[in-house]
Amino acid sequence: MQLDAKIPDGPLAEKWDRHRFEMKLVNPANKRKFDIIVVGTGLAGGSASATLAELGYNVKTFCFQDSPRRAHSIAAQGGINAAKNYPNDGDSIWRLFYDTVKGGDFRAREANVHRLAQVSNNIIDHCVAQGIPFAREYGGLLANRSFGGAQVSRTFYARGQTGQQLLLGAYSSLARQIAAGKVTMFPRREMLDVVIVDGQARGIVVRNLISGELETHAAHAVVLATGGYGNVFFLSTNAMGCNVTAAYRAYKKGAFFANPCFTQIHPTCIPVHGTYQSKLTLMSESLRNDGRVWVPKKAGDTRRPADIPEDERDYFLERKYPSFGNLVPRDVASRNAKEQCDLGKGVGETRLAVYLDFADAIRRDGRAVIEKKYGNLFQMYAKITADNPYETPMMIYPAVHYTMGGLWVDYNLMSTVPGLFVLGEANFSDHGANRLGASALMQGLADGYFVIPYTIGGYLAGTPQRAVTTADPAFKAATQAVNGRISKLLSINGHRTVDDFHRELGGIMWDYCGMARTNAGLEVARGLIQNLRAEFWENVKVPGDPGEFNQSLERAGRVADFLEFGELMLIDARARQESCGGHFNEAFQTQENEALRDDENFCHVAAWEFTGEDKEPAFHKEPLVFENVHLTQRSYK
Ligand SMILES: Cc1cc2nc3c(=O)[nH]c(=O)nc-3n(C[C@H](O)[C@H](O)[C@H](O)COP(=O)(O)OP(=O)(O)OC[C@H]3O[C@@H](n4cnc5c(N)ncnc54)[C@H](O)[C@@H]3O)c2cc1C
């Protein structure tokens, strides 16, 4: 199959406008004749559902939480990017576009990224109109702060709760449409399959998580906005419920999976402190605006930070990257923290941590200013670690945080299955091999508020479809398959818990497919995962019944998918014989230990096609063409 990204012709800055004009429209009176399923109520799915319903479509929206408001987007702390240039420091749509392409190590599509930068400003206007309480300057203008990989301040924020405030905005719009009868909301439902009729996505199978019943729903198009798959590593900053199931089941139904090995390890998280931990906590990147990262110059130095004099400290990011300092992108900051710990300079009990120090900022600006900017983050840190970050430096270490890979989509955000659209973190589209901070909220809302409302109309207006109901045999077949899998999981009755398997899988992924990768390690990990998967299907213990509230069963299904998907990540990592962004293969590095790309052979999106159980996936290549940006070795010095 030839992958066609459907990038519109014309100059980069005109592509989106031209495309919107050229796309077919659905007449307002006809929109009510179309049903659209949206799975997910985070920023991407919530904004899409609300906007599509506002346009007149009949929307059915699903999430596994008890309320759309509990989607993982609520956890986002630091902010959302836009090219408003309010601080007058030289920002522009072009600069945001350029920073994002460069930040992603030149592995994203130019046209998508430029569109993202263009609509970023609309997002801020829209959210302000909704009443999102963004931080403001004294004169009333919205305030900005800096995030990694940019030398301008373009991040809009609401203290350390930006995701929560943005989600409340999207949720309010969604709730309005629920009340208007244009959105039917289905909480506590888990999508377990996509139903394909005549080659088009026409519905889904969901499990009602309260009653255990399987339900089917039909529509003219299906939108997945089901978030990222970072929890394949077990320990991550993602909410415990985040999983790959919806995307993976779609993959098995024909949607290609793009760049699955591109995961983001965030440099500023609270370090792991024990083997029974199931969650890691992010300390927002915004803290690196004022916090200074350092380690003792001497390896094995166990003195308290206050006892280490200034000239015996190594502010290694400031030393190595004078232009960007502590605000280098996440992949660079993470690798450098690991390097210092590998050199024996790590701090804290485990020696797997570096300091993030606010002493200078507090001396310079006063405690009140720092408290106003980051108060809730400091409080969170103090509660978790019992240390007072106003008085002693925070200890941080990299942790899995975000996944740049996802289902392959074209410029219209449609997957390789006609009628199956993918938005937000669940798709692969805009961040290349490394996402810049504050760009995920921007992308989720761009997709939901400003892209899908147009492109889905183009699809519906231009695609002949026959009437399909859930009585169609395809729904029965999909339900039977889901039922069979559930029965199989419950029948094993082995001796190991689901979490035990998940923890072991996470360990394998972290050790071999985490911050640094080697070809030999990736091969070893494949064998380990295959063995673990075989044991899972013989020895997992899933108590309870299918027809009831059963969280072990929910988790078992998700971990079963992770056990297959983890192997796909390894295959992808092994196939990409270069280093770029978050994918760091130790064999490919510059003399200064930076990621060394191979643009001649790997300037492409790797898209994987499912070919059958226990068969190698088929590789497809979407070449990336850079007409506006010159490919260079990324430098933040
Ligand atoms: C701690 C933390 C802080 C962050 N801070 C920032 C930040 O400051 N700025 C920034 O830009 N980004 C940030 N990010 C990243 C950002 O929050 C996410 O990438 C983004 O919110 C994802 O939004 P989404 O709508 O794609 O998915 P999500 O918000 O994850 O929503 C997924 C939805 O899909 C539903 N779902 C999933 N699977 C199924 C299924 N099988 N059946 C039914 N429903 C399903 C869920 O119920 C949920 O409603 C942060 C991430 C973390 C972990």
Could you tell me the residue ranges of all domains in the chain?
Answer: 265-400, 473-613
Coil, helix or strand for 531?
helix
Mutate which of 72, 157, 231, 562 for ligand 1 pocket (most atoms within 8 A of beta carbon):
72
Could you report the per-residue pLDDT of 293-329, keeping only the tens digit for each? 999 999 999 999 999 999 999 999 999 999 999 999 8
Q: What is the pLDDT of residues 138-166, one digit of tens each?
A: 999 999 998 888 999 999 999 889 999 99
Q: Residues 501, 505, 510, 511: what is their CA dihedral angle, to the nearest 10 degrees?
A: 100
d(CA 357, CA 166): 29
Output the six-digit token pair for 435. Answer: 């996402």
Q: Which of 11-25, 146-160, 235-249, 419-433 has the lowest mean pLDDT?
A: 146-160
What percent of the chain clears pLDDT 90, i.e. is strictly above it? 93
pLDDT bracket for residue 633 (50, 70, 90): confident
Q: How far apart are CA 442 and CA 47, in angstroms?
A: 12
Among all chains, which residue has been given the structure tokens 């014989």? 577
- Angle, CA 208 vertex, CA 205 and CA 210 arms, to 5°: 170
Architecture per CATH, domain 265-400, reads as Alpha-Beta Complex (3.90)
Question: How far, in Å, CA of 285 to CA of 145, rounded?
Answer: 11
Q: How many CB atoms lie within 10 A of CB 585?
A: 22
For residue range 24-72, list pLDDT tens digits in order. Answer: 999 999 999 999 999 999 999 999 999 999 999 999 999 999 999 999 9
440 pocket-lining for ligand 1 (C-beta < 6 Å): yes
**CB of 261 closer than 6 angstroms to any ligand 1 atom:** no
For the chain, the distance separating the N- and C-terminal CA atoms, rounded to the nearest angstrom, is: 42
Q: Which atom of ligand 1 is nearest to the CA of 65?
A: 47
Expressed in angstroms and rounded, the spacing between residue 43 Cα and the centre of ligand 1 is 7
60: helix, coil or strand? strand
Helices (H) then strands (E): counts for the chain = 18, 19
Residue 40 gets the label, from left (phi > 0), alpha (psi -120 to 50) or beta, of left
pLDDT of residue 592: 83
**How far is the centre of ligand 1, averaged over its atoms, from the C-alpha of 425 (Å)?**
7
Ordered strands of the 257-258 beta sheet: 406-407, 257-258, 604-609, 618-623
Compute the half-sphere exposure of residue 67: CA atoms within 13 Å on the CB side of its CA.
9
Give the residue-averaged pLDDT of 512-519: 96
Report how far residue 382's alpha carbon sits from residue 396's, in angstroms, rounded to the nearest whole number.
13
Give a three-class secondary structure readout of 63-88: CCCCCHHHCHHHHCCCCEECCCCCCC
Q: Rounded to an integer, what distance in angstroms lies between the CA atom of residue 173 and that of residue 176?
A: 5
The predicted pLDDT at position 634 comes to 83
Residue 85 Cβ inside 6 Å of ligand 1? The answer reads: no
**Cβ atoms of residues 1 and 620 within 8 Å:** yes
- Residue whose pair of structure tokens reads 């990038």 in the numeric block: 7
> 330 catalytic, yes or no?
yes
What is the 476 CA–ligand 1 centroid distance (Å)? 31
**Can you give the pLDDT at residue 285?**
84
Cα(380)–Cα(233) distance, rounded to whole angstroms?
23
| 8-state DSSP, 138 | T
Closest atom of ligand 1 relative to the 424 alpha carbon: 26
Q: What is the pTM of this model?
A: 0.96
* CA–CA gap between residue 333 and residue 316 (Å, rounded): 10
Residue 229 CA, ligand 1 centroid: distance in Å: 10
Give 167 Cα–ligand 1 centroid separation in angstroms: 10
Q: Which fold has domain 473-613?
A: Methane Monooxygenase Hydroxylase; Chain G, domain 1 (1.20.58)
241 and 562 in contact (C-beta within 8 Å)?
A: no
**Two tokens, residue 460:** 């519906």
Q: What's the Rg (C-alpha) of the chain?
A: 24
- Residue to mutate, 73, 215, 439, ligand 1, most ligand atoms under 8 Å from C-beta: 73
